[in-house]
Structure 1
Amino acid sequence: MYPEHPAHSRPVTAVEVHQPVPMAPAVMAPAPLVPMQPGSVPAVASIVLPDGRVVTGYAINPVQPAPVAAKPPVSRTAVNIALGGIGFGAVCGGLLLLTTFIAALTALITQLITLAAVIFGGWIAVQIFSAGGSKGGSTVNIRKAIFKRNHFHG
């Protein structure tokens, strides 16, 4: 039903195994000697490989990363926000006092205007409704007055 896969139709061949061939060490010029302090000669380490060879060399100390500056326990942004909140609270207290002062001043001005209106209105009322007084005029009883030809005769 299914066609045969082409990989299954190939003939099986033997697998060849290649063994690594050791290389002859290269002849190199000796490395120049670097003068060192007497107390700072690094330690020489030797390692025995599984096939019996011994590798000798200087131990290399791992590179230490640069120390990271310690972060403060509280970030500067948080400190700035807190200080801004304190300043805003102080300003709000001042604004509250300012609005209280403006409200008190408005109430005072309103009371002074009301007092002036009462005093001035009372003075006018006294002037209108005062009885008598010599003002150079005459008092006329209108019921006994006589009107002739649109002239008033008192």
Structure 2
Amino acid sequence: MPRKRPGALRSRQPSRAPRDLPTRRIHGLSPRTSRAIEHVERLSDDYYLYPGATARALRRYRAFLGPPGRRPLYPRLSGCDCRGCSFDDVRHARDVLEEVLRQLPPRPRAELRRRVRVLDAAYAARTLPDPFAGRRQWHAHLWWRRRLEDGCEGG
């Protein structure tokens, strides 16, 4: 009885993508870390931590620090607390990153923390400290919340 060629057998099988690859790879992070972040986002019960929130938070943090120059930058409050509008406030993006860092396993946490530290250093250098943040901010214990702000977004 004639044998079928391997190519003919493979052509009949449906192609399957490997299950261990993340559906969304986060720019600048390894596939392993992206997979761990995706797992944390999927299993989190936090309203602001949903699939894709970490990538969005990193993009927002980079975009805020993006304009070149030496002039100070001032974070702005978002006008709305919904999932989409809350990222208008860069401090919320940093809050999301901190929550993901808290829930990640050690190796992916270390990789993401290295990325966030670079952005944190730029944020600290480009924003000004707020001496009255303890009275104004409800999260005054977080260092990125103790920076001068510029009022509401769009106002």
TM range (shorter): under 0.3
Identify the structure with the greater helix proportion: 2
Q: Name the larger-Rg structure.
A: 1
Answer 1 or 2: which has greater strand percent: 1
- Bigger relative contact order, structure 1 or 2, given CA contacts below 8 A and separation 6+? 2
